[in-house]
Amino acid sequence: MYQEIELDKIDIHAEPPTEEPARQYYFMAKCRQIVQAERERLGRPLYACIQTFGCQMNARDSEKLIGILLAIGYEEAEEEGADFVIYNTCTVRDNANQRVYGRLGVLHGYKRRRPGMKIALCGCMMQEASVIEKIRRSYPFVDLVFGTHNLFQFAELFYTCLVSERMVVAIWQETDAVVEDLPSERKYAFKSGINIMFGCNNFCSYCIVPYVRGRERSREAEDILREIAALARDGVSEIMLLGQNVNSYGKNLRQPLSFAGLLEKVEEIEGIRRIRFMTSHPKDLSDDLIRVMKQSDKICRHLHLPLQSGSTKILTAMNRRYTKEQYLSLVDKIRREIPDISITTDIIVGFPGETPEDVSETIDVIQKAGFDNAFTFIYSKRTGTPAAAMAEQIPQEQVKAQFDRVLHTVQETAKQQAGRLLGRTEEVLVEEVNAHDESLMTGRLSCNTLVHFPGGKELLGQYVSVRLDECRGFYYMGKQVYGP
């Protein structure tokens, strides 16, 4: 939630404030005046479209961007031919970068037909110097480029873009700023993500995130709790606490607070019925966190615990700071304390120096851990990371064969796990009308598994009891159950 400030009452002829977020509200008011004049000139609304690439944190950032655009007078659109298009980018894997470059070619066609169109790029990909150089050289029609550290400056940067004829580029290399109380427009009325921290200190050797998101910065607990309480008053019943490594939350606060301690405080907020979080680093998952999850009626029975590799040799090269045996011991402890938990993971295949024997170690962990699902990726070489400079980069044809081995094991294990709730009646939060059949609604179990069942739009945002009649791999088909 954000300050309810009437933009029309801000004196836009005064000097801009120096303090945040007042400075951004000042520039929102100035943008609003320009947008209103353009609407009157065209005799129609102005439309803005945001395309989000990447993780839940990017999705949350996009909600803030569209919130600001709505405040200054745009209406939201899904079409990339809108008056203003933003690509909020990801750079974890190279194919994410290539998708953005491909879509920019399409946008150039739109802009040639509509010269007044504005195009902006933001997010993790923009923190790479080579990307900025390529955009300046090959995509000069882009109007605004900014990164992850100064996203809160969007209104100010957009104003500069509106009154300038040049490409505006504003990239910060680092920051310790955490700016609260800016507009946000949620995708769902009944659930929301909440950033509890930004950045990462782990520096896994394959990962570019610490370089583009910066070092860890935790939000103050009172600010997080205030935001969640406001969301609850606004009808939100499910929240997801977001961070690159939520388990290390609070270490840099003036008064340190553990993630487990934060969860206990969140549980006390009236109106919140489900609590989710991601992502957890295995090296930081504490006994206190397991205890809090075990005792909670609100924390969902789902834990995303990235493995990346089952080979201790590869884990060491990745700088993951745990061994195969330590990971399996942690999974055993979690399952022993919380038997009904669903555990999902991330796996990378093709890391430099990985042998078929190392992949067999990964397969062994998959079989022993019994993951409900695993997001499996082929290693993507990211310039600037230590892994990119390592010898023994694996040829793609060799990686593909090993990837297929891992994917087959993941699918078999997930099938075994998927059917364990078959025939039971479980609580489902109804999230949307089914994308393929409008007679069905789609919801989610506490364990994060999707359920499709007959129903109407009036169920959106409600918690209903559904009998799980049929398991189809990664989702269930069911029927709503009324009464006891």
Selected from 3.40.50.720, 3.30.750.200, 3.40.1790.10, 3.40.50.300, the CATH number assigned to the domain covering 301-420 reads 3.30.750.200
33 close to 148: Cβ distance less than 8 angstroms: no
Give the DSSP letter of residue 442.
E
C-alpha 111/C-alpha 144 separation (Å) is 14
**Percentage, residues of the chain above pLDDT 90:** 84
Which residues are registered as beta bridge partners of 467?
425, 479
pLDDT for residue 129 is more than 80: yes
- Single-letter amino acid, residue 260: A
pLDDT bracket for residue 1 (50, 70, 90): very low
Express each pLDDT in 185-198 by its tens digit. 998 999 999 999 99
- Check residue 2 and give its pLDDT: 47
356 exposure class (CB count in 10 Å sphere: 0-12, 13-18, 19+): exposed
Q: What is the pLDDT of residues 379-430, one digit of tens each?
A: 999 988 999 999 999 998 899 999 999 999 999 998 888 788 999 999 999 9
Tokens of 351: 């890391």
Q: What is the DSSP letter of 205?
A: T
What is the average per-residue pLDDT within 85-98? 91
* C-beta of residue 453 within 8 angstroms of C-beta of residue 417: no
The pLDDT confidence band at residue 320, using thresholds 50, 70 and 90, is: very high
DSSP-H helix ranges across 168-304: 209-213, 221-233, 259-267, 287-295
The phi, psi pair for 415, rounded to 5°, reads: -60, -40
Those residues with Cβ within 8 angstroms of residue 290's Cβ, 6 or more apart along the chain or in another chain: 333, 334, 337, 338
Q: What is the mean pLDDT of residues 356-368?
A: 97
Residue 381, SS3? Answer: coil
Q: Are 186-299 and 301-420 the same fold in CATH?
A: yes
Inform me whether the pLDDT recorded for 56 exceeds 90.
no
> Which secondary-structure segment (H or E) carries 217?
strand 217-218
* Confidence (pLDDT) at 92: 85
Please tell me the CATH code under which domain 186-299 is placed.
Answer: 3.30.750.210
Cβ neighbour number for residue 449 with a 10 Å cutoff: 22
- pLDDT at residue 484, as a whole number: 60
Tokens of 452: 């499709």
As a whole number, mean pLDDT of residues 345-373 equals 97
Where are the chain's structural domains? 7-170, 186-299, 301-420, 422-480
Assess whether pLDDT exceeds 80 at residue 5.
no
Question: What six digits make up the tokens of 283?
Answer: 């090296």
Q: Which one has a higher pLDDT value, 329 or 178? A: 329
pLDDT score at 175:
83
The first and second tokens of residue 352, run together, are 């430099």
Q: What is the pLDDT of residues 256-313, one digit of tens each?
A: 899 999 999 999 999 999 999 999 999 999 999 999 999 999 999 999 999 999 999 9
Q: Is the pLDDT of residue 96 over 90?
A: no
- CA–centroid distance for 59 within its chain: 5
- Our CA dihedral for 442, 446, 449, 451, rounded to 10 degrees, sits at -30
Sign of CA dihedral 434, 437, 440, 444: negative
What is the pLDDT averaged over residues 319-329? 98
Contacts of residue 189, Cβ cutoff 8 Å, sequence gap at least 6: 234, 235, 236, 461
Whether the predicted pLDDT of 80 surpasses 90: no
Class of domain 422-480 as given by CATH: mainly beta
Annotate 308-342 with DSSP letters as a single string.
Answer: B-S-HHHHHHHT----HHHHHHHHHHHHHH-TT-E
Q: Does domain 7-170 have CATH number 1.10.3720.10?
A: no
Other beta carbons within 10 angstroms of residue 30's beta carbon come to: 21
Whether the Cβ atoms of residue 466 and residue 477 lie closer than 8 Å to each other: no
The residue type at 397: E
